[in-house]
Amino acid sequence: MSERVILLHGLFMRRPVLLSLARRLREAGFDTELFGYSAQRHGPDGVLSRLRERMQALGAGTHLVGHSLGGVMALECLRRDPSLRGGRVVCLGSPIAGSAASRGLARARFGFTLGRSRGLLHEGVGELPPDVEVGMIAGSHAVGIGRVFSALGESHDGTVGMAETRLPGLADHLVIPVNHTALLWSSGTAAATARFLKHGRFAEA
């Protein structure tokens, strides 16, 4: 039986952006499911309630892969409900330590575009859920609109600063030379994600 993976997109995005990554993960032997949500409309509580129900239906050991806010949502779900733990998590450019770009957006009076997920974006998850292997893939190609609204540090992917992708307890952290959005379509992202889901590390065995 193939291992199950739920993929979550980021803010302002919809499920079709995950199709390429899902296809590559299926080719690597995983069963994939795309989880769509409106972070602005429903906020974390509504989104996480639906995600929790879906994970319970799929059973223990379900992996999560989330791009940007999707990764933050995945970790927050596991932090709130320990019964869902058992699978691995891969975050793609997720601001798990909080997003300077989102805070800058709010200062520029565009905070309304973040909707009810503003707080989670601003602050991140605080700490990683215990007993969960979490891997982070971050981009280093500094092209993106996020830098217009905030200083992202010396290294960033155009939207999320490198420091924002790190928290104590990460099982592995990998940097690839793409920008924030391109993390979704990079063959390197897909290959590294598959390795981590199988082995708990990004390096080739």
pLDDT of 194-203, one tens digit each? 999 999 999 9
Topology given in CATH for the domain delimited by 4-199:
Rossmann fold (3.40.50)
pTM of the shown model: 0.93
The region of weakest confidence among 32-41, 109-118, 129-138 is: 109-118
* pLDDT range class, residue 106, cuts 50, 70, 90: low
Q: In the chain, what are the domain boundaries?
A: 4-199
pLDDT tens for residues 82-105?
999 999 999 999 999 998 887 776
**What value does the mean pLDDT take over residues 44-49?**
91
pLDDT at 40 over 80: no
pLDDT at 75 over 90: yes
**Spatial separation of the C-alpha atoms in residues 123 and 95, rounded to whole Å:** 9
pLDDT at residue number 153: 62
**What value does the mean pLDDT take over residues 44-53?**
93
**Spatial separation of the C-alpha atoms in residues 108 and 130, rounded to whole Å:** 36
pLDDT at 156 over 70: yes
Phi/psi for 10 (5° steps) reads: -100, -170
pLDDT at residue number 95: 96
pLDDT at residue number 111: 55
pLDDT at 122 over 80: yes
The strand order across the sheet containing 134-139 reads 31-35, 4-8, 63-67, 89-92, 134-139, 172-176
**What value does the mean pLDDT take over residues 167-180?**
97
Q: Are strands 134-139 and 172-176 parallel, antiparallel or unpaired?
A: parallel
**Spatial separation of the C-alpha atoms in residues 36 and 13, rounded to whole Å:** 9
